[in-house]
Amino acid sequence: MKVVVRAPSNIAFIKYWGKKNEKLRIPANSSISMNLSDAYTETSVEFKKILSDDLVIIDGKKIDGKEKERIGRHLNLIRKMARINFFAEVLSKNNFPKGAGIASSASGFAALTLAGVKAAGLNLSEKELSVLARLGSGSACRSIPDGFVEWKKGSKSSDSYAYSLKSPEYWDIRDIIVVVGEKSKKVGSTEGHKEATSSPFYKARISEMDKKIADIKLALKNKDFTKFGRIVEEEAINMHTVMMTSKPPLFYWLPKTLEIMQSITTWREAGLETYFTIDAGPNIHVICRSKDVRKVKTKLEKIQGVKKIIINRVSKGARIVK
Ligand code: PMV
């Protein structure tokens, strides 16, 4: 049976950087995110008797080497659970540039998990799907449930999973992705996580995480945009400080990244309330209220060097489309 799944990427407001268990991808701290309506991966999986190896095609390109091995390992987990030994045909398409700081691994592994599980004839709960997606790529566990999501760090594999805090309809805030660099990053997040502990600021970061999670959950509950935005921005700067001070240092920003961060601060001072966050790449996510989207878009379009603007609403999680 062939199953097609669409899974959203997600943007973390409180981020995951550093793991407690490398192999099982158990994070050092819990994280909070929203799923993105217009940055997604669509993946079909079919286990076929005639195949002599897994066949993986992403954005029209046959995948080999390390990337394919990682996907193969994920399929092995599914094959083991379903007690099947057929290889799989995996066809996957992203509607955004891969490897540029928009989490393609999050949407990719969430889609692969749900499509693979269904194609193998398994019926898993949302929690079990989230646990399984996490084993493929940590942040992928947050792309399984709907809307605003919390990934509970947990203490063992079976209790490190994400669940929905609020539905997509709960609060109409937007995430505008501003693409300023489309090249794949030099150091991906899997490598980056390993370096986190080498920053002298890592311990301080982790010690504040529980409070940050509680604070942002309260801001979400009260729909307090100002409090929410301030926490989001401080958190992004905090994570990037750890990145930049790890050994060797990781700089994901480009000059354009900083220019746009400064513009956002200036707009805010002039009354247009927006905040930024940035993942492991140079692109900026602008968080704003729905009523301000047009204004923000017009301003962004005037900035030279902006390659693409993607406007996202809060989205559902991974779902079967066929
Ligand atoms: O799931 P990974 O290994 O791609 O790590 C994601 C890391 C960040 O995007 C920087 C933060 C996050 O929580 O999404």
| pLDDT for residue 119 | 98
Looking at the CA of residue 139, tell me the nearest atom of ligand 1. 1
Looking at the CA of residue 239, tell me the nearest atom of ligand 1. 10
189 Cβ inside 6 Å of ligand 1: yes
29 Cβ inside 6 Å of ligand 1: no
DSSP string covering 63-110? --HHHHHHHHHHHHHHHHHHT---EEEEEEEESS-TTSSS-HHHHHHH
- From residue 302, alpha-carbon distances to 175, 206, 299 in Å are 18, 38, 5
pLDDT-derived band at 322, boundaries 50, 70, 90: confident
35 Cβ inside 6 Å of ligand 1: no
10 Cβ inside 6 Å of ligand 1: no
Sketch out the chain's domains with CATH numbers. 3-169 (3.30.230.10), 174-312 (3.30.70.890)
Residue of 147, 116, 172 lying closest to 10 (CA atoms) = 147
Task: Return the best residue to mutate from 9, 107, 112, 139 for the ligand 1 pocket (most ligand atoms within 8 A of CB).
Answer: 139
Per-residue pLDDT tens over the stretch 153-212: 999 999 999 999 999 999 999 999 999 987 666 788 888 999 999 999 999 999 999 999
Task: Return the best residue to mutate from 10, 16, 216, 241 for the ligand 1 pocket (most ligand atoms within 8 A of CB).
Answer: 16
Burial class (CB in 10 A: 0-12, 13-18, 19+), 66: exposed
Per-residue pLDDT tens over the stretch 244-297: 999 999 999 999 999 999 999 999 999 999 999 999 989 999 999 999 999 999
16 Cβ inside 6 Å of ligand 1: yes
Distance 192 CA to ligand 1 centre (A): 9
36 Cβ inside 6 Å of ligand 1: no
pTM assigned to the model: 0.96
pLDDT-derived band at 102, boundaries 50, 70, 90: low
Do residues 20 and 28 touch, judged by C-beta distance below 8 A? yes
| pLDDT for residue 99 | 52
